[in-house]
Structure 1
Amino acid sequence: MKQIRYTPEQKLWALEQMKPPLNRTVVELAKETGITAVTLRTWRDAARQEGQCVPAGQPRERWSSTRKFQAVLQTAPLSEEETATYCRTRGILPEQLQQWRQACEQANGGAGPVHEQGRVISADTQQQLRNLERELQRKTEALAEAAALLVLRKKADAIWGKDEDV
């Protein structure tokens, strides 16, 4: 099998396509250029060994929890400008990094019960909710008792007739 030689310009262009902000995948580039995926991966890995930031082509939405946590840890001591540079080289948005940071901060917060819509309920709101539920239960019981008394009165009237002097 004949080995194809690629020019340094082709290699450089392919590496630039794999870097942020384009972040094109190896498979996508292989289909477009005709360069084998194995060759592109080899170039990418060699560039990483040289210290260049060439992501694996994995979209930031599919980053694992571990990678997100590592990104938060790595950027915690950085200034805003350094964080922006970090985000740019990794192909992520600063807003996403901020969301990840907030998620990490709230991970072990023990914020309390969560409402149906996913919001955390405060202690005051919980107490108010319990009071309202008790009041609703009391009123439901009172209504059931009143309905039972009305039914009994109708039955008594049906049996003995209507008593007008009461």
Structure 2
Amino acid sequence: MARLLPPESAAIDVVSREVGVSVATLERWRAQALAAPGELTNNQRWTPAARLEAVITTATMDEAARSTWCREQGLYPAELEAWKHDAIAGLGEPRAASAVEARQDRRRVRELERELHRKDKALAETAALLVLRKKLDAVFRDGEDE
């Protein structure tokens, strides 16, 4: 698509022959790109749920039907295949990663609890020393008055 837009602005019929997409489709895509230059890319427009739905929809299609579907949606079959791999990878990967993360989280919680307990003891000791200091000051001040 970038070849059809400035600065390259290649001829549509040449690009059509090279990539195997019809001239009409390329003209429509170019018009859409020129009409909305700030528009999101295909991957940014497809939500994860829509990607999964596309993978499921095209799973039973043969390659020709899948390619036709992709052209209608403005996708490359490679993008669809990447989404399929991402969906499959997402099925088993998080459990293994979450077990490791859970162990690391438990270890970190124990370390933080130990540190909190140590700081609580130090705070209690400091508070006790301050109370004793005030009592000591009160005793010696009372002695000065007499």
TM category, shorter: 0.3 to 0.5
TM-score (ref. length: structure 2):
0.47
Structure with bigger helix share is 2
Q: Which has the higher contact order (CA 8 A, sep 6+)?
A: 1
TM-score (ref. length: structure 1):
0.42
